[in-house]
Structure 1
Amino acid sequence: MTGTSLRARIRAGETVVGTFVKTPAPHVVEILGLAGLDFAVADQEHAPIGLAQMDMLAMAARASGLPLLSRRWGARPDWIAPLLDLGCAGVMVPHVADRATAEAVCAAAKFDRGSRGISPSPRAGGYGSLGLLDYRRRCDEDSVVMVQIEDAPALNRLDDIAACRDVDVLFVGPADLSQSLRVGFPSPELDAAILRVTQAARRARVATGLFVGDETQIPVWQERGVTVFVCGSDQSLLMKGARRLMTTRQA
């Protein structure tokens, strides 16, 4: 890897903007990279993207200089480690509602936790061109861990979750959080809950992340302390562009 890593930028408090990828096509990732996005997240939670397809997406991401994360349920190493081996820049894990789950995610992602199997033979290790110790150091320094806060019980455990070593981002999933809280989306109650997350993240000196459906929401939440944004998806960007095109049609 060259230049400043996504993790270093997040840790430095920079505002970074990405989008979800829901289409299992490497061309989409390549285009997003050429467009200059800070990162993208392949949505294995809500889209039909398997490990073989992630391999192609990760290849396109690295070729175009786009840090690519994956979002998928669970804290098991059998899905987290293979994605990092493919060259993904990190993981986003939904529904992390307690410290134990956060710790399990970090243990699956970081070699220095002692349980992730290590081999520099995959893409992330330059197919064996990196020495073992250098590979281990680079991966642990650069891999991003985002844990999603989207359950009401998690709000009472924020300080505990944020204190977990190696967690980089408390990422709010506002739709699921509003559902868990049984409040509107959007609503003042949801906004208040998001602010609780930003406050806990600030106390722990980690970043707050948030999904927004439209780029006009970014400045509003940036002023409130959010620095990591996932805005829409490849599908919504395509839909928005196509609809805008059709508004120019002559009657």
Structure 2
Amino acid sequence: MTAASFRARVRAGEVLAGTFIKTPAHHQAELLGLAGLDFAVADAEHAPIDLAAMDRLAAAARGVGLPLLTRVPALDPVAIAAQLDLGAAGIVAPHVRGPQDAEALLRAAEYGRGQRGFSPSPRAGRFGTEDAATYRARADAERVLVAQIEDAEALGAVDAIAAVEGLDALLIGPADLALSLGCAGPDDPALREAIAHVAAAGRRHGRTVGIFIGRPEAAAAFAALGISLFICGSDQSLLLAEAGRAARMVRASRTE
């Protein structure tokens, strides 16, 4: 799958399954791509994934046709450009609280806005083998930019965020959103209302909406709200779940 077709699938609202990568090992990207996931997100916000690790992850992901986004720690233009230079398919920006944050993401990521530093020599520019103008146009056409909605403050501005032209998707972060709202737990009615509110804003503005889910079984209920982009757990949680299942099954086979 090319990055361009991935962006088209995101924008079309196709139901897509992905996961976070939290282990700084390129094998994880290869394995997840071979498993058939639609995308993955390297978590440089909450995991020890530095530029060197991301370089290897991006190369491995490209080798198996897995679109790999990066969740950056903050809206730092230098960090965002570096991730895209390495070949990330796009950026997940945490804690987008208003349209000004979404605009800052676009300025940092797009050459056409005149603020991203340009070099055709990294992997994204095919190591200088592509015409510079062609590369700039392709980079802006292919990138996927996702604004994470995970703060109570963002709920009042979510329509304005969703209306920002050039943004590809909103991503609901239920854990931080619940914390910000003071919810008692994941089933708190206030959190459910907030999720529905973000989903409705996405529908009003024709913007794709995604959400993090801990279990794939949770996807159906959110899909009913029009949510189509799902980040299900992480490489670590998937490994833990499957290893635990294997252990339980083997132990259950013991005969007295």
Question: TM class by shorter-chain length?
Answer: over 0.9
TM-superposed CA distance for 1:163, in Å, is 1.4
Question: Are 2:192 and 1:197 aligned?
Answer: no
Q: Secondary structure at the match of 2:80?
A: helix
Give the share of equivalent positions with the same residue, in percent. 52
Cα displacement (A) at 1:158: 0.8
Alpha-carbon distance change, 179 to 119 in structure 1, aligned in 2, over 3 angstroms: same
1:31 corresponds to which residue? 31
RMSD, aligned CA = 1.2
CA–CA distance in structure 2, aligned partners of residues 64 and 246 of structure 1:
30
Residue of structure 2 in register with 1:241 after alignment: 242
Whole-angstrom distance in 1 between the partners of 2:20 and 2:131: 33
Matched residue, 2:222: 221
Q: Does 1:151 align with 2:151?
A: yes
Measured against aligned partners, the alpha-carbon deviations of 1:64-121 in whole angstroms (never above 9, x if no partner) come to 1100011122212110001101110001011110111111111001111111112221
Report matched runs for 1:132-171 at 5 Å.
132-171=132-171
2:142 corresponds to 1:124: no
Deviation at 1:129, TM superposition (A): 1.5
What secondary structure sits across from 2:216 in the alignment? coil
Aligned to 1:114: 114
Q: CA 1:205–1:189 in structure 2 vs 1: closer, same or farther (change >3 Å)?
A: same
Deviation at 1:186, TM superposition (A): 2.6
SS in 2 for 1:5: helix
Partners of 2:112 and 2:65 in 1: CA distance: 26
- Which 4+ residue blocks in structure 1 deviate beyond 6 angstroms? none
Matching residue's letter, 1:111: Y
C-alpha distance in 1 between matches for 2:222 and 2:20: 19
Residues 104/54 of structure 1: CA separation in 2 closer, same or farther (3 Å cut)? same
Deviation at 1:5, TM superposition (A): 2.1
Query: Taking structure 1 as reference, are residues 22 and 2 closer, same or farther at Cα in structure 2, changes over 3 Å only?
Result: closer
Cα distance in 1, alignment partners of residues 135 and 206 from structure 2 = 27
What are the equivalent positions in structure 2 for 1:2-21 lying under 5 Å apart? Answer: 2=2, 5-21=5-21
Map 1:54-133 → 2, pairs under 5 A? 54-133=54-133
Corresponding residue for residue 232 of structure 2? 231
CA distance in 1, matches of 2:115, 2:152: 30
TM-score, structure 2 normalization = 0.95
- Whichever residue aligns with residue 243 of structure 2, its letter is A
In the alignment of these two chains, the number of paired residues is 251
In 2, Cα distance between equivalents of 1:73 and 1:236: 21
User: In structure 1, what is the Cα distance between the partners aligned to 2:46 and 2:122?
Assistant: 26
Contact 2:2–2:65 (CA<8 Å) still a contact in 1? no
Q: CA deviation at 1:4?
A: 5.2
Letter in 2 for 1:226: I
Output the CA distance in 1 between the equivalents of 2:181 and 2:106.
Answer: 27
CA distance in 1, matches of 2:3, 2:57: 21
TM-score of the pair, normalised by structure 1: 0.97
Per-residue CA distance 1:51-73 (angstroms, 9 max, x = gap): 11100000101111100011122
CA distance in 2, matches of 1:182, 1:3: 38
Structure 1 match to 2:44: 44
Q: SS in structure 2 opposite 1:175?
A: helix
Q: What is the CA–CA distance in structure 2 between the aligned matches of 1:138 and 1:12, rounded to whole Å?
A: 19
Alignment check: 8 A CA contact 2:20 2:41 kept: yes
